[in-house]
Amino acid sequence: MKDEDRIRIRHMIDAAEEASAFLTGVTEADFSKNRMFILSVIKDIEIIGEAASKVSANTKANYQNIPWSDIIGMRNRLIHGYFDVDVKLVWNTAKNNLPSLLNFLKKILTDS
């Protein structure tokens, strides 16, 4: 794997860990009422998507269990549709998808 891909995957891991840390002990109701939480988690999801978009096609092909296009698509939606963000979708992504993504990404770094 290229060093640049390792760096991008590390950025994805850092942002996923940060988003998870922000949500530790936070309920969905608390999250949906707190603009600081919302914006912080959105920013981390944007970072994950931006880093994913910079990962080489070869690495993406080698790790097809990661939904690269979905990750990038969510980043694009958050960036360009900032005025109409579905907070429930952000919550569900952060709580339900980031933990498994984080495990996959860490495995990539330890396997390669």
Per-residue pLDDT of the chain (112 residues; tens, 9 = 90+): 899 999 999 999 999 999 999 999 999 999 999 999 999 999 999 999 999 999 999 999 999 999 999 999 999 999 998 788 999 999 999 999 999 999 999 999 998 7
Catalytic center residues? 75, 80
Residue 82 identity (one-letter amino acid) = Y
Contact between 85 and 28 (Cβ < 8 Å): no
CB atoms within 10 A of CB 29: 9
76-93: buried (b, 16+ CB within 10 Å) or exposed (e) per residue? ebbeeeeeeeebeebbeb
Range of the domain at 13: 3-111
Domains identified in the chain, total number: 1
Instruction: Indicate whether this model's pTM tops 0.85.
Output: yes
